[in-house]
Amino acid sequence: MAICVNARTAFSLFFPPILDEFGWERGVTAGAFSFGFVVAAVLSPLLGRMMDRHGPRVVMEIGVVATAAGLLLATFVGQPWHVYATLGMLVGAGTTFTGYSGQALFLPNWFVRRRGLAMSIAFAGVGFGSIVMLPALQAFVERNGWRAGSTLLGVTVLVVLVPLNLLLRRRPQEIGLAPDGDADTPAAAKARVANVVDAAWACIDWTLARAMRTARFWWIAVAYFGALFSWYAVQVHQTRYITEIGFSAQQAALALGVVSLAGVPGQIALGWLSDRIGREIVWAIGNLGFCMTYVGLLLLPSFPNVGLLYAMVIAQGAIGYGLTSVFGAIPAEIFEGKQYGIIFGTLSLSALAGGALGPWFMGFVHDRAGSYTIAFWVAIGCSVLSAFAIWRAKPSGVRVVAGRVRVVQA
């Protein structure tokens, strides 16, 4: 997670020098990042089906190869469509396989009682990677150019992730265990169903067709769209925005790293909290973090001080990134079953659509209005809608977390 997700985030660091080198419109260039999400959205149901059939080792290695190819081939770009094909399509699709979406397809299989905490710890690796990788990559790019930076990142992806992903397994039963490290026994199975509060819902053999006929499925889709719109819109544009209002490129890169560093304790704490108070509340808290982020961005031109800058990025990382701790847990608790992969993969279409539209919309608004103000307010609205939608989906109406009911131990 530390490498694969930051391979996509690095687009924010390549974005300004690409603009300076070619002089393309901001919306056109940022659209390459969005295009990667469009491609990933098309592939998302296939990703879920592949995970159900072949497991994470095959899926992850495909993602690694695609990501590395995109980063290495990007060094030859000379036209906008080259950026769309490399840093957009290949990196976007590849990191979807290896990043949050791909990991969320099999990690919930390994945990029940501490599902939120476990997933938040896994995803917190992104923060550890960001605080080291992004400032270092920015310094490397400033000295050697963005093409050299892209090459270095592509080689790193291949060398580190190809062997590492060979260790993955889809389910704990493949190594003789049950979720949470329990022995694979009838008693363990009893513990896994002790938190069910809607037995009629939980006993349904969920297929994609059945899931799509429920309101819960569509509320989750709305929530994912709004959250990812806000998340990736700010992630792509904040480096350029921060430098335009008077901060240095190194300060902007460090701020981007601090976002993910702050996300480490924030994600873990909110994941732990979600196992005690519920997924809906933590999802709402995460969206509140992005609302605070955009308010901070709106205030920065009038109050361009380092204190406000870091308050903004800490809210973004420590609170906003907490969404990842329940991103996979919410649909897993509602639609748990043999076809969870294809259901989650299809739901991810909405998430990826939001992630695609957000950066493009920000760039489009800026190109037309000369300011991000309107786009920032739209993103705040998307975060509010996202929080409301998960309350309507109500995963606690199907399964409650361990902190709300005493789970029988194996």
Tens digits of residue pLDDT in 21-44 = 777 777 777 778 778 767 777 777
Mean pLDDT calculated for residue range 384-395:
96
Tokens of 313: 């990025």
Position 281 scores a pLDDT of 94
Mean pLDDT calculated for residue range 201-222:
93
Measured CA angle at 119 (ends 175, 409), to 5 deg = 60
Integer Cα distance of 1 and 258 in angstroms: 17
The per-residue b/e assignment along 129-161, b for 16 or more CB within 10 angstroms, e otherwise, is: bbbebbbebbebbeeeebbebbbbbbebbbeeb
Beta strands in 123-228 (DSSP E): none
pLDDT, tens digit, 9 for 90 and up, residues 354-381: 887 888 898 889 888 888 889 999 999 9
- pLDDT score of 81 more than 50: yes
- pLDDT score of 210 more than 90: yes
Rounded (10°) CA dihedral 287, 327, 114, 109: 180
- pLDDT score of 217 more than 80: yes
Tokens of 212: 């799509």
pLDDT, tens digit, 9 for 90 and up, residues 91-150: 888 887 887 777 777 777 777 777 777 777 777 777 777 777 777 888 888 888 888 888
- pLDDT score of 288 more than 50: yes
Integer Cα distance of 73 and 37 in angstroms: 19
219: CB partners within 8 A, 6+ apart: 389, 390, 392, 393
302: CB partners within 8 A, 6+ apart: none
pLDDT, tens digit, 9 for 90 and up, residues 147-181: 888 899 889 888 888 888 877 777 777 667 777 76
- pLDDT score of 2 more than 80: no
pLDDT, tens digit, 9 for 90 and up, residues 333-349: 899 877 787 888 888 88
320: CB partners within 8 A, 6+ apart: 230, 231, 263, 286, 287, 289, 290, 292, 293
Decide yes or no: CATH 1.20.1250.20 for domain 4-169+190-403.
Answer: yes
Grade residue 201 by pLDDT with cuts at 50, 70 and 90: very high
Looking at per-residue pLDDT, the higher value among 98 and 257 belongs to 98
Position 284 scores a pLDDT of 96
